[in-house]
Amino acid sequence: MGQSERDSEWDSRSGNERNNNENEKERASGMSKKDTLAAAQGNDGDGDVDFHLAGTVAQVTLNRPGRRNALSVPMLDRFLLVLDEVEQTAARVVLLRGAGTAFCAGADFADFDDGPDRRGFAPKFHSLLDRLASLRVPVMAFAHGPAVGAGCQIIAQADLTIAAESAVFGITGVKIGLMLDMANITRLVHEVGAATARRLLLTGELLSAREAQVAGLVHRVEADADALAQASAWAELIGSRAPLAVQGHKAALQAVIEDGWLSPDTESWRAGSEKSLRAFRSEDLREGLAAFSERRSPNFRGL
């Protein structure tokens, strides 16, 4: 599918879906548009972010499929709480996905009736991206269907992303007159580079999964039928690696992304060096060397 076809399909699908859903609910209930939207949020799992620990993998699911997992303020609140819960478990990696036919269709515009900060969406979304970056364990996103707007920004913030071939990515604010704030623009450039940020922000185009991979937004692309299984297997692979080394690398990489070239007199350099020394002195390193010598799989404990 070409660029114009992807954009037209998304515009048409999004607009028709919103109009049809709203008109149908209003006719059936007799409620006003605003009341109908509020009721729809309550009945469609507004705030639903599910969390399940499967071995070393924290499976986190955006579970609002009737709205294509569009993010509301209560959903952001729940998402932040879930990430706090993850930190209290033995999880070594997060596998983040969306329920239904989409990863995330962006912000729920019901929260924008009186301006984007009416219910505090922007600061809470900033907090969410900060939390994904600072989370102790890597976050792997599995993208299928649309990952648009805020959903695309979450993909950019994830440590790794695996996409189904049918996934599409974009930040379409210029199509409706919405501009990202400076914090999110800065973060986007840090995560995906200026060239990809320019294409996303200035054109509002949707990128195919393959285009997103070339642009550095996505790390792997798999056939739709196999993509979720491949994502789960990849997450389990990371969960089997030495956790002190994996977590230390994530923190160090994030420091370089945020601060640029580090010098030995910076706090980020010292923190990274301490993590490196801890890994070097760990029981896990001894276990890893022994397993290599004995030609067996290591059993890392994070010690």
Q: 269 and 204: one domain?
A: no
62 close to 82: Cβ distance less than 8 angstroms: no
Please say whether the dihedral angle defined by the alpha carbons of residues 152, 177, 189 and 122, taken in this order, is positive or negative: negative
Domain stops at, among 237, 253, 284: 237
Predicted local confidence at residue 280, as pLDDT = 82
279 close to 285: Cβ distance less than 8 angstroms: yes
109 burial level (CB within 10 Å; 0-12, 13-18, 19+):
middle
Q: 178 and 270: one domain?
A: no
Q: 92 and 215: one domain?
A: yes
Predicted local confidence at residue 84, as pLDDT = 96
Domain stops at, among 222, 237, 252: 237
Q: 177 and 88: one domain?
A: yes
What's the CATH number where 155 sits?
Answer: 3.90.226.10
Provide the domain count of the chain: 2
Q: 146 and 249: one domain?
A: no
Q: 174 and 289: one domain?
A: no
Predicted local confidence at residue 217, as pLDDT = 93
Predicted local confidence at residue 7, as pLDDT = 61
Which residues of the chain fall short of a pLDDT of 50? 17-46
Predicted local confidence at residue 118, as pLDDT = 57
pLDDT in tens, 32-89: 333 332 333 333 444 599 999 999 999 999 999 999 999 999 999 999 999 999 999 9
Domain assignment of residue 108, yes or no: yes
Q: 118 and 194: one domain?
A: yes
Domain assignment of residue 302, yes or no: no
Predicted local confidence at residue 63, as pLDDT = 96
Predicted local confidence at residue 259, as pLDDT = 78
Predicted local confidence at residue 300, as pLDDT = 86
